[in-house]
């Protein structure tokens, strides 16, 4: 590939980087306590050998159709081997089916059988056990490989094959036969309701999205720098971000786990990373906890800096006195926040859920630009995004549309999207495809509006809006997003369909309550007991009443019940991107919900 040629298929990105800006550390991950770096040249060579191994194991591109191509799954944490396998699978003409490591066994069995997966790569012993337990019921699965070295298991390196002339010719013929419009991956969305759907994305769907996102990265100016990756690679958001890093020339360092994130940030010192709002909330809660532990003048200085940051604006003139105060707060306080993120972060890209506007202001004041965006797996996935430069950002919105992406708002408020990034369809479900893609327009299921003519704002999910018995419609997300700004509310779901008023189930922020009990010189009674503790209910009630004031009477929470444990992915209440599975929660707590209306 010449230096001027642009990649048209995802595996072309490696050759593109190798020809234009080869890196010593295209990817890196912790191995035995040290960062093991993979150069662009080594990545290219390994993918080539792995492609040869897949072919020798009988992996086929079939007749080139969606149904004819073999399907290969990955269920693993983020690591270089994940991407090496991904790109080798693509080069072989097969199709990758990525799966969340936290997936429930029942869902895993459904996906592997529905996609007719022939080979799977697993991260470790636990995931190997999860797969082998259901293997007898899988009619297509023939081979299981592991990324960790395990006894009595096939290690992925056994696939690496020296390429002779015949294999070389076979690889070249397969690569040549793969068109940009061909299927590259099937990503199953767990969704907040129903059975997982396999979103079919072509090379062109994703490559076009990478190129549309590229100007956003160009503005940040990060070629030759590092990104830290920790969101699951099986999610379209992180997967496309990785391809974008390759296209931009940014080294990708994989965090060992979420537990090591703080240490990884300090060691890697990334200039950029992608995240979900919940992590930013946790960072902010950590900042507040440290501030609460301060005494005297230091505490006053901390509180002053927080109050100052909450007033921060973009695209509006800041008076000279405020600027001076901001500079002082930066030197004394904000610089320490940046240091906690490694000291070099220029931008953080967030998606998957709404980010609190308060956090956007505070981090921006502290010199950390949060670029909130919006997308769907069905759109490969990015639709819009706030830019790095202030003129392209607007607090409370998900930014302007990407170049090449169109959107329009239906009379009922639903956002429709059209562009080269819109999926090929749902695998083996033409009926569902026809429901969401009509005349080329993807019906997102999200409700929104345009602010100032160009900034897209998401207000709710169409299917989540409910009607009270008084005939009033309630959009739960804006209320829920506001309520969790309270440091005492961890999670919340609004209920009240066909009822006289709105109620809520609330998971308290147990960590913050433990601190509150300490300030009261009282022993913490435990998560179960605090749900009935009147002083705690009073704290939560005050927060609810405070935020209720910003909403219409029919939207305000009139009653609530506290729950003694958090909703989790493992518990089945959250999707892997931490969205509420409303149907699951409503069913699980139906008796408690009914008691609020008795």
Instruction: Determine which helix (DSSP H) or strand (DSSP E) holds 558, and give its type and residue range.
Output: strand 557-562
Could you tell me which residues come within 8 angstroms of residue 323 by beta carbon, excluding any fewer than 6 positions away? none
pLDDT tier for residue 478 given thresholds of 50, 70 and 90: confident
- What are the C-alpha distances in Å from 148 to residues 163, 342, 384, 582? 24, 29, 37, 36
| Backbone angle region of 318, left / alpha / beta, with phi > 0 → left and psi within -120 to 50 → alpha | beta
| Residue listed under structure tokens 């706030």 | 386
The tokens for 521 are 């010189």
CA–chain centroid gap for 43, Å, is 25
Whether the per-residue pLDDT at 463 is higher than 90: the answer is: no
Please, are residues 350 and 373 in contact by the beta-carbon 8 Å criterion?
A: yes
| Residue listed under structure tokens 């079939």 | 62
Gap between the Cα atoms of 536 and 512, Å rounded: 11
**pLDDT tens figures, 21-74:** 999 999 999 998 899 999 999 999 999 999 999 999 999 999 889 999 999 999
**pLDDT tens figures, 1-31:** 445 479 999 999 999 999 999 999 999 999 9
Residue 74: per-residue pLDDT: 98
**pLDDT tens figures, 382-398:** 999 999 999 999 999 99
Whether the per-residue pLDDT at 193 is higher than 60: the answer is: no
- Helix, strand, coil percentages (3-state) for the chain, rounded to 5, are 40, 20, 35
Percent of the chain at pLDDT exceeding 90: 75
Gap between the Cα atoms of 93 and 413, Å rounded: 41
**pLDDT tens figures, 325-354:** 999 999 999 999 999 899 999 999 998 778
Residue 1: per-residue pLDDT: 44
**pLDDT tens figures, 273-293:** 999 887 888 888 888 888 888
Residue 115: per-residue pLDDT: 97
């Amino acid at each position: 590939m010449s230096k001027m040629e642009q990649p048209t298929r995802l595996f072309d990105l490696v050759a593109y980087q190798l020809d234009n800006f080869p890196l010593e550390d295209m990817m890196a991950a912790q191995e035995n306590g040290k960062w093991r770096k993979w150069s662009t040249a080594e990545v290219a060579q390994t993918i080539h050998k792995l492609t040869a191994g897949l072919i020798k194991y009988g992996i086929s591109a079939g007749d080139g159709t969606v149904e004819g191509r073999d399907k290969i799954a990955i269920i693993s944490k983020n690591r270089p081997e994940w991407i090496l396998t991904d790109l080798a699978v693509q080069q072989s003409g097969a199709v990758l089916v990525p799966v969340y490591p936290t997936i429930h066994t029942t869902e895993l069995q459904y996906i592997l059988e529905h996609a007719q997966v022939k080979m799977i790569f697993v991260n470790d012993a636990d995931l190997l056990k999860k797969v082998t337990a259901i293997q007898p019921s899988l009619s297509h699965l023939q081979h299981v490989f592991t990324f960790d070295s395990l006894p009595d298991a096939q290690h992925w390196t056994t696939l690496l094959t020296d390429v002779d002339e015949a294999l070389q010719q076979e690889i070249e013929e397969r690569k040549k036969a793969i068109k940009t419009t061909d299927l590259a991956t099937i990503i199953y969305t767990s969704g907040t309701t129903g059975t997982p759907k396999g979103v079919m994305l072509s090379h062109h769907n994703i490559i076009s999205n990478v190129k549309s996102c590229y100007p956003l990265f160009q503005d940040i100016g990060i070629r030759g720098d590092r990104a830290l990756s920790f969101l699951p690679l099986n999610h379209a958001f992180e997967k496309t971000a990785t391809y974008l890093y390759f296209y931009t020339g940014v080294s990708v360092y994989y965090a060992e786990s979420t537990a090591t994130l703080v240490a990884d940030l300090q060691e890697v010192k990334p200039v950029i990373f992608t995240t979900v709002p919940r992590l930013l909330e946790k960072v902010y809660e950590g900042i507040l906890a440290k501030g609460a532990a301060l005494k005297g003048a230091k505490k006053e200085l901390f509180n002053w800096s927080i109050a100052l940051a909450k007033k921060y604006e973009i695209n509006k003139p800041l008076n000279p006195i405020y600027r001076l105060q901001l500079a002082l707060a930066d030197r004394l306080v904000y610089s320490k926040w940046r240091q906690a993120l490694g000291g070099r972060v220029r931008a953080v890209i967030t998606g998957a859920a709404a980010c609190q506007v308060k956090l956007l202001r505070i981090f921006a004041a502290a010199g950390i630009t949060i670029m909130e965006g919006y997308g769907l797996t069905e759109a490969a996935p990015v639709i819009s995004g706030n830019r790095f430069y202030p003129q392209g950002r607007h607090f409370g919105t998900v930014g302007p549309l990407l170049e090449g992406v169109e959107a329009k708002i239906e009379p009922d408020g639903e956002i429709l999207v059209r562009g080269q990034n819109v999926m090929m369809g749902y695998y083996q479900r033409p009926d569902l495809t026809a429901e969401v893609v009509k005349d080329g327009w993807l019906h997102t299921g999200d409700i929104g509006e345009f602010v100032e003519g160009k900034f897209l704002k998401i207000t709710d999910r169409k299917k989540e809006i409910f009607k009270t018995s008084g005939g009033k419609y309630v959009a739960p997300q804006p209320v829920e997003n506001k309520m969790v700004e309270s440091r005492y509310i961890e999670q919340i779901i609004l209920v009240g369909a066909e009822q006289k008023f709105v109620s809520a189930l609330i998971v308290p922020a147990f960590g913050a309550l433990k601190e509150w009990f300490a300030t009261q010189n009282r022993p913490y009674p435990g998560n179960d007991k605090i749900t009935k503790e009147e002083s705690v209910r009073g704290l939560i009630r005050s927060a609810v009443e405070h935020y209720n004031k910003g909403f219409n009477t029919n939207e305000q929470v009139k009653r609530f019940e506290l729950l003694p444990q958090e909703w989790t992915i493992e518990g089945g209440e959250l999707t892997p991107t931490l969205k509420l599975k409303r149907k699951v929660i409503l069913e699980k707590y139906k008796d408690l919900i009914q008691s609020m209306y008795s």
